[in-house]
Amino acid sequence: MRRLLFLLPMTLLLLLGLFLLVGLGLNPRLIPSPLVDRPAPAFTLPALEDPERRVGHTDLQGRVALVNVWASWCTSCRREHRVLSDLARRHDLPLYGINYKDERADALAYLGRFGNPYRWNGHDREGRAGIDWGVYGTPETFVLDADGRIRYKHAGPLTPERVQREILPLVARLRQEDP
């Protein structure tokens, strides 16, 4: 009995080791959004390209669409820019941008330099709409169904693998749901 007590540290260690091993295979940065399967949060923002024009959540309904949160100061956004542009063009997906905590001039210069794949960009200078959308950091990409509900969220830059594996199958499914 007394001997068993001395084995206790060993047993606890093995248990802990098992958890740590499993933990290595998990990604703690993968955060499911509470917004998934909810309607996109309401917002209206001045358009980046034309401050007089207002854009908002009502524009997002009717078709399966992508919403991308980006900023000119964000280097990962630059990395995903080409992936994002290809995705929108090749698969005829409307892509909307929320330009997050950015200066208008900087953002327009960025689009001028790297190309503008967005239908429109809402200029969220103070990050208010970002809060409603639960933005942790840029870039973040949301997939919306035709009813304007959020169906998928990806935090961090999009990679071609991620597009192939997750986004394209989902888009195909959503288009079937609501042709």
Partner 1 sequence: MIPQLGQFALILALLMALVQGILPLLGAQWGRRTWMDTAHTAVAGQFLFLLTAWGALTWAFISHDFSLEYVARQSNTALPLLYRISAVWGGHEGSLLLWTLMLAGWSLAVSRFSGGLPPVLTARTLGVLGLVSAGILSFTLFTSSPFTTLFPVPANGRDLNPLLQDPGLAIHPPMLYMGYVGLAVPYAIAMAALIGGRLDAAWARWTRPWATTAWAFLGAGIALGSWWAYYTLGWGGWWFWDPVENASLMPWLVATALIHSLAVTEKRGAFRSWTVLLAILAFALSLLGTFLVRSGVLVSVHAFATDPARGVYILALLLLVTGLSFALYAWRAPQVHGHAAYHAISREGALLANNVLLVVAMAAVLLGTLYPLFMDALGLGKLSVGPPYFDRVFAPLMLPLILLTGMAPLLRWKRSPPGELTRRTWHTLLAALAGGVVLPLAAMGSTTLMVSLGVGLGLWILLTAARDLYTRLARAGGPREALRRLPAGYWGMTLSHLGFALLVMGITLLSTFEQERDVRMAVGDRADLAGYTFQLRDIRPVEGPNWDATEAHVRVLRDGAPVADLYPQRRVYRVQRRPMAEAAFHTRLTRDLFVALGEPMAGDTWALRLHHNPFQVWLWIGTTLIVAGGLVAAADRRYRVFARRTANAQHRGEVS
Q: Which residues bind partner 1 (CB under 8 A)?
A: 2-3, 6-7, 9-10, 13-14, 16-17, 19-26, 28-32, 73, 75, 101, 125-126
Cβ nearer to partner 1, comparing 71 with 93: 71
Q: Which is nearer to partner 1, 17 or 169 (CB)?
A: 17
CB of 68 to partner 1, least distance (A): 21
Going by C-alpha positions, the residue among 36, 27, 24 that lies closest to residue 143 is 36
In the chain, % helix, strand, coil (3-state, to 5) comes to: 45, 20, 35
User: Are the C-beta atoms of 33 and 150 separated by less than 8 Å?
Assistant: yes
Please state the closest distance from residue 6 (CB atom) to partner 1, in A. 5
3-class SS of residue 127: coil
CA distance 22 to 32: 19
Q: How far is the CB of 152 from partner 1 (least distance, A)?
A: 16
Q: 79 vs 125, which CB is nearer to partner 1?
A: 125
Helix (H) or strand (E) holding 62: none
Q: Is the Cβ of residue 13 or residue 109 nearer to partner 1 in the bound state?
A: 13
